[in-house]
Structure 1
Amino acid sequence: MSTAAEPEDTHDAESIDALAADLDAAGYAVARIEALWERGAAATSTHPGAALRRGHRVPALQALARVEPDERPLATLVRCFVLGVPVASADLAEALPVLGIERADALGLVRLDGDRAVPRMDLRPYAFTDAAGPGEWWIASDPGELATGGALPEEYVLGVGGASLTLSGLLLQRPIATAFDLGTGCGIQAMHASRFSERVIASDISERALRFARLNARLNRIDGVEFRLGSLYEPLADERVDRVVSNPPFVITPRRDGVPAYDYRDGGMVGDAIVEAVVRGAADRLTPGGIAQLLGNWEYRREGDDLADGIERVAGWAAEAGLEYWVVERERQDPSEYAETWIRDGGTRPGTLEFEALHGAWLEDFADRGVESVGFGYVLLRRPVGGSAPVLARAERLHGPLGDVAGGLAAHLEACLAASDLVGALDDDALRATRLAVAGDVTEERHHWPGAEQPTVILLRQGGGFGRVVDAGTGLAALVGASDGELPLGVLVDAIADLLEVDRAELWDELAPATRELVAGGLLHPVGD
């Protein structure tokens, strides 16, 4: 275990500021680069950006060869720091006139090799929008597989990947005092948290990662982030925080010789123990009402004749720690699919002896421990206020595509939490007196057998959020259709019971829990006076 400490700052602040000035002057921004790719697509019928996402950079290089003279500095920066290609030292000097290539070398951006500058960092613009408005940063990290052409080193520091984009889109955006980013990596989640937090503490077990995180914070002039070296919650010592955010190193890796243990994704524990540690440990680190949000993997294990349900295991960790929870499983893979995904992620390509050896190690580890599949998803935890009993206790599988969440899921989660808290505190009498309205993104879909008058299936579809699809049935569909915020829920249910000629009490017993679920999922929302 590492001790909590402030890592040494090895970067020259004046050089970082000079780099920022050069990047800004060159127009090193997402929109400008996308414009280059669009022109390239028009000229060659191949979109360079799409090819890059597939791991191929030739179309992008061809597009950069056709830029206008005034775009040469921008093209040089993209070629060097996005595509990972050595550039002429003179061209880089033109692109970085304030920093200069000698200081670029000293900063670790490049290695000067004769008349060439060889990139040592990936450095690219990153744009986003949240509740505070649009923003754009430059994010530095280690060069990826596209630049290195082979397997990644174990100390590799990841930049903005798919998981980090997912988590940043989930982060609640209500103002708080103190946030803690556990396993900050390049610092991206700490930077997002700083937009809604007076103070951010960011930690990692990797000094290399913390150096990148400090560089990124300075490069983007982000203050109020304190970086600490240490494992799990150790860097907090006895402090409590209002928010924990973590994209922990959750990848389940065999503890066997010859299997790389990448710092950015491997927590050094067996199976899903790192996720369990983050979940359980949050209870002692959150202030009352404080919330933790993290991504994770969890195992479905065969224990004798029984299969231990992965999502229920996560819920059990939270409940045993006295935390409220909302666990959402987005995907589930069998052992082979899971192994293939993460071996390839590390830069080892299929069809090689190295890939097959690692694949075998993964499958043997899963078989030895009785793991039949692995789930991936999101975990939201909350510490109850004042010793009150937990209200939020949801564990659900929401596989499949999301709804329209252009700005991320944060606003949807916030609304669902508020609505769930409201109806969760109501007894049946109070629920009957509540007025509800159907959300504007909900549509109804009916399926009939040919010639039949009555539908065989009635589905409610959510256009936003998690894109939930609810098999409603006649009674619930009628209730949702009548929910316009005018009449109390109890009045509507009684009227529907009379119309369907069924017992009022029995229909209420059926529809009350279903209504609570629809409110918690955002398909219905309470209407105030």
Structure 2
Amino acid sequence: MRTADVDALARDLAAAGFTGGGVRALVGEHAEAALARMVAEPARRAALRKPGPLATLLRAFVLGDPVTDAELADALPTLGIEGAVALGIAERRAGNGTPLVAPLVAIRPHAFRDALGTGEWWIASDLDELAGVAPLRPDHVLGVGGAARTLAHLLPPVACGRSLDLGTGCGVIALHLRRFADHVVATDISARALWFTALNARLNGVDGVEIRLGSLFDPVDGERFDLIASNPPFVITPRAEGVPAYEYRDGGATGDALMAAVVGGMALHLAPGGAARLLGNWESIGAEPGLDRVRGWAGDELDVWAIERDSLDPVRYAELWLRDGGTLPRDDAHDALLDAWLDDFEARGVTSIGMGWLALRRPLATASLARFERLPHVVALEHVGGHLATAFDDAEWLAGLDDAALAAEHLVVPSDVTEARHQVPGAAGPNVIELRQGGALGRTVSVDTALAALVGACDGELALGVLVGAIAELLEVDDGILAADVLPRVRELVLTGILRRA
């Protein structure tokens, strides 16, 4: 692509006010909310009532509608129609007596917030269901969806040298990585995806992103990185004739073998102290839970924290991805495709499929964290990246402390942690005491009176051992017995962010 054309496109988008706020002002809050639900008509009606460059860009590159030559020429005065055609974002079509220009890609504003502040990019991708495209083309390149937003929030907000976006797709994660990394290598098996990545980097003035074509770790053989991020094509798809294989979600492997390969390759490609953040799916096969299988993939060289956010039975899993590809129950092909999925799961003894997050780190010495858990509750994503990064540091710190050393430490309660007490009316004291997080992973933890008192006293002034002794005296119990009971639980509270180092 000609960089001058991309630069011209950026100037035109900016001049038209083609931003999230601009779109909201044009169509209104209700129509904007409908767009998020993949419902186009309210925004289309609003845009047609208020013609102009912004309305034309919305109709063409958000909704996928053909527009007249005159409308697009007015909306893209610097790039022009010929420039848009040459760039590959539009094509001419014959209308009923009126020449039309049809979009070939979607270009949509994407606002974000991270530890460095707020910003907004234009992200180009393939036209999708919002633009009336169904089923999707096999080499479809996704725009910014829920998975990309989640992965962006999982990234550690820490400056680093080299980073890798493994399976970059449209490149939005590469742009997020570049905000913290000096250099980003973005790989994908799809040349079309890499075209979008290059377009989006240039369109938003982001340098330092190097694109490489190839499968999984092949393009970076022998290289190590300080941070690796990946939303790999992890969807478990039957290897059967007639089942569509979408590049953005299907890596061509049987079952969850692609996820096993991605996780298994991390140790060879993370620099000492380097971190990885992944999204993925894993199967429970027979009596073996999926998280136990993930434990085997990770091995013992890495610190690992696997978080299963949801678990679906085979029928619901197949239905999810049939809908994602644009195949609905009323479609002729639906039942045959559903049978193919269910046949595959039955043949391999799959009982459920877990969906979640993986955080990994290559320790400087020996691994100190191996945590595998299910957390299905709602989590405020903006807190997760920083919490996970801190947790790995805390795990290493805790591993170097025996109980006597821990008792000498000073801890504090983060400002987002609150306490709730529940009791039966008329009872002398609470039946349940809960500690609740507003940040981190939003946990609610039940504690007993002694641990609640200890947490409540952690203001950084006194050492843990002193506090334990005082509480033991109040409760009239042996301080050694109390310390042996509460200190292991204090370790858990530190790791989960309910307590932290002063």
TM-score bucket (shorter structure): over 0.9
Distance 1:413 1:450 in 2: 40
Question: What secondary structure does 2:45 align onto?
Answer: helix
| Amino acid paired to 2:321 | W
Equivalent pair of 1:112/1:118 in contact (CA under 8 Å): yes
Aligned pairs for 1:77-226 (under 5 A) are 77-114=57-94, 115-226=99-210
Q: What is residue 429 of structure 1 aligned with on the other side?
A: 404
Equivalent pair of 2:454/2:471 in contact (CA under 8 Å): yes
Q: What is residue 337 of structure 2 aligned with on the other side?
A: 358
Residues 479/58 of structure 1: CA separation in 2 closer, same or farther (3 Å cut): same
Shift of 1:408: 5.0
| TM-score normalised to structure 1 length | 0.91
Shift of 1:339: 1.2
Question: What secondary structure does 2:49 align onto?
Answer: coil
| Amino acid paired to 2:117 | G
Residue 402 in 1 paired to residue 379 in 2?
yes
Residue 31 in 1 paired to residue 21 in 2?
yes
Shift of 1:161: 0.9
Equivalent pair of 1:331/1:375 in contact (CA under 8 Å): yes
Structure 2 stretches of 5 or more lacking a match? none
**Residues paired across the two proteins, number:** 498
Task: Provide, for residues 107-152 of structure 1, a one-character-per-residue CA deviation record: whole Å limited to 9, x for no partner.
Answer: 1111111311111101011111222222211111100022244211
Distance 2:427 2:85 in 1: 75
Question: What secondary structure does 2:461 align onto?
Answer: strand
| Amino acid paired to 2:371 | R
Structure 1 stretches of 5 or more lacking a match? 1-10, 42-46
Residues 198/261 of structure 1: CA separation in 2 closer, same or farther (3 Å cut): same
Task: Provide, for residues 490-515 of structure 1, a one-character-per-residue CA deviation record: whole Å limited to 9, x for no partner.
Answer: 12222222322333333222211211
User: Alpha carbon RMSD of aligned pairs, Å?
Assistant: 1.5
Distance 1:382 1:209 in 2: 28
Q: What is residue 504 of structure 1 aligned with on the other side?
A: 479
Question: What secondary structure does 1:308 align onto?
Answer: coil
Task: Provide, for residues 203-233 of structure 1, a one-character-per-residue CA deviation record: whole Å limited to 9, x for no partner.
Answer: 1001111111111111112111111111111
Q: What is residue 63 of structure 1 aligned with on the other side?
A: 46
Task: Provide, for residues 345-393 of structure 1, a one-character-per-residue CA deviation record: whole Å limited to 9, x for no partner.
Answer: 11112232322222222122112211111111111111121xx221122
| Amino acid paired to 1:192 | H
| Amino acid paired to 1:351 | R
Residue 233 in 1 paired to residue 233 in 2?
no
Question: What secondary structure does 1:517 align onto?
Answer: helix
Aligned pairs for 1:36-55 (under 5 A) are 36-38=26-28, 47-55=30-38
Q: What is residue 412 of structure 1 aligned with on the other side?
A: 387
| Amino acid paired to 1:172 | P
Worse-superposed segment, 146-155 or 95-104 = 146-155
Worse-superposed segment, 193-202 or 90-99 = 193-202
Q: What is residue 290 of structure 1 aligned with on the other side?
A: 274
Distance 1:246 1:456 in 2: 44
Residue 450 in 1 paired to residue 419 in 2?
no
Equivalent pair of 2:165/2:174 in contact (CA under 8 Å): yes
Distance 1:237 1:418 in 2: 28
| Amino acid paired to 2:491 | R
Q: What is residue 326 of structure 2 aligned with on the other side?
A: 347
Distance 2:139 2:476 in 1: 68
Residues 350/50 of structure 1: CA separation in 2 closer, same or farther (3 Å cut): farther
Shift of 1:415: 3.0
| Amino acid paired to 1:220 | N
Distance 2:272 2:149 in 1: 28
Question: What secondary structure does 1:65 align onto?
Answer: helix
Distance 1:168 1:64 in 2: 31
Residues 319/494 of structure 1: CA separation in 2 closer, same or farther (3 Å cut): farther
Question: What secondary structure does 2:439 align onto?
Answer: coil
Aligned pairs for 1:275-354 (under 5 A) are 275-302=259-286, 307-320=287-300, 322-354=301-333
Worse-superposed segment, 49-58 or 253-262 = 49-58
Equivalent pair of 1:325/1:393 in contact (CA under 8 Å): yes
Task: Provide, for residues 417-446 of structure 1, a one-character-per-residue CA deviation record: whole Å limited to 9, x for no partner.
Answer: 333332232111110001111111111122
Task: Provide, for residues 306-326 of structure 1, a one-character-per-residue CA deviation record: whole Å limited to 9, x for no partner.
Answer: x21212221232134x11111
Equivalent pair of 2:127/2:133 in contact (CA under 8 Å): no
Q: What is residue 489 of structure 2 aligned with on the other side?
A: 514
Distance 2:135 2:48 in 1: 28
Runs of 4+ in 1 over 4 A off after TM superposition: none
Distance 2:43 2:251 in 1: 35
